[in-house]
Amino acid sequence: MRAPDLELLRQAQQGDEGAFHELADRHASGLYRLAVALVGNTADAEDIVQETFLAALQGMGAFRRRSSVKTWLYRILSKRAARCHRTRLRHAASPLYDDAEEPGRGVGRGAGPSASGATDTRLDVTEILQGLSTDHRRVIVLRELEGLSYAEIAEVLGLPLGTVESRIARARKELRMRLDGYLG
């Protein structure tokens, strides 16, 4: 029976290195997927996940158990991803997700050509997801892919509950318009 996240964090706070590594094993994949969805490329996603756990290591002494460990980690990652996104926006010569000359740059089309229609659908969905605004993409990924509740999303992103609710509804509306051909 595996120890709950809070127990592992408590052990890590007392110097148990193995406990922190176990927390990393548990949450790294989910954080990585979220990072990829937020920043659109695997290299930045890996850096962001590393930075997230390093920040968690430095700041775990101040963790006050007002949220779950998962939400706490997601919150750190969300801030790191936002910073990465702002940095790239400042240095990018062209918009990140609206590049007509390089359709599907990033994790979408980069997966390689495939004759399978299902794979094409997946890639199209990925590309459309990456094409959402940052605000919409963050809430949709946290809700649809990570299964966080509205309250957890509000805590991760530092938003009021009502804002989370309305952004999810608007993001879905936008996605339905873009994915109209796939919804039947």
Partner 1 sequence: MEEKPTSVCRYRGKLSSYYDGELPQSELVEIESHLADCRGCSAELEQLKRLSGLLRGAYLPAMPGGALARLHSRVGSAREAVVVRLAERLMAVAATVLVVCGLWLWQANGVRRRYDVSLGGWEIAAMTLGVEDAQHVSPEELLTQWIVTDLSAEEQK
Residues that bind partner 1 (CB under 8 A): 17, 20-21, 24-25, 28-29, 32-33, 36-37, 42, 46, 49-50, 53-54, 57-58, 107-108, 111, 118, 121-123, 125-126, 129, 140, 143-145, 149-150, 165, 168-169, 172, 175-176, 179, 182-184
| CB-nearer residue toward partner 1: 50 or 87 | 50
Nearest to 47, CA basis, from 63, 23, 31: 31
| CB-nearer residue toward partner 1: 121 or 133 | 121
- Cα 25 to Cα 51: distance, rounded to the nearest angstrom: 15
Q: Which residues contact 85 (CB under 8 A, 6 or more apart)?
A: 38, 39, 96, 134
| CB-nearer residue toward partner 1: 47 or 75 | 47
The least distance separating partner 1 from the CB of residue 134, rounded to whole angstroms, comes to 16
The least distance separating partner 1 from the CB of residue 7, rounded to whole angstroms, comes to 19
| CB-nearer residue toward partner 1: 75 or 104 | 104
The least distance separating partner 1 from the CB of residue 115, rounded to whole angstroms, comes to 16
Q: Which residues contact 26 (CB under 8 A, 6 or more apart)?
A: 5, 8
| CB-nearer residue toward partner 1: 14 or 58 | 58
The least distance separating partner 1 from the CB of residue 152, rounded to whole angstroms, comes to 11
The least distance separating partner 1 from the CB of residue 45, rounded to whole angstroms, comes to 8
CA distances from 28 to 32, 40, 52, 113, 167 (A): 6, 17, 10, 28, 26
DSSP code per residue over 82-149: HHHHHHHHHH-SS-SS--TTSTTTTTTGGG---S-HHHHHHHHHHHHHHHS-HHHHHHHIIIIIT---
